[in-house]
């Protein structure tokens, strides 16, 4: 299944915020979601390239994709 075929359930735009806020907001959003739902996070703080994957690993979430486009880092995470 390609990422274009994945149904996004929630979108979280944390551009302009610096860590730890993007990671904390991602964690809080994931907590409110149902198992199996997919979250698309958009950030532009380079430290999120490490903190959000680490959050996924600690929380047992599946990081489906992480890509950077035009200064924005996109994370597709399945709870």
Catalytic residues: 19
DSSP reduced 3-state for 49: helix
DSSP string, 2-25: -GGGSPP-EEEE-TT--TTHHHHH
Kindly report whether the peptide bond that precedes residue 20 is cis, defined as omega within 30 degrees of 0.
yes
């Amino acid at each position: 299944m390609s990422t274009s075929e994945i149904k996004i359930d929630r979108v979280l735009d944390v551009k302009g915020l610096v860590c730890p806020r993007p990671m904390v907001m991602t964690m809080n959003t994931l907590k409110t979601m149902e198992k199996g739902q997919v979250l698309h996070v958009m950030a532009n703080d380079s430290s999120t390239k490490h903190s959000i994957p680490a959050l996924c690993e600690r929380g047992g979430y599946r990081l489906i994709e992480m890509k950077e486009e035009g200064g924005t880092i996109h994370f597709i995470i399945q709870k």
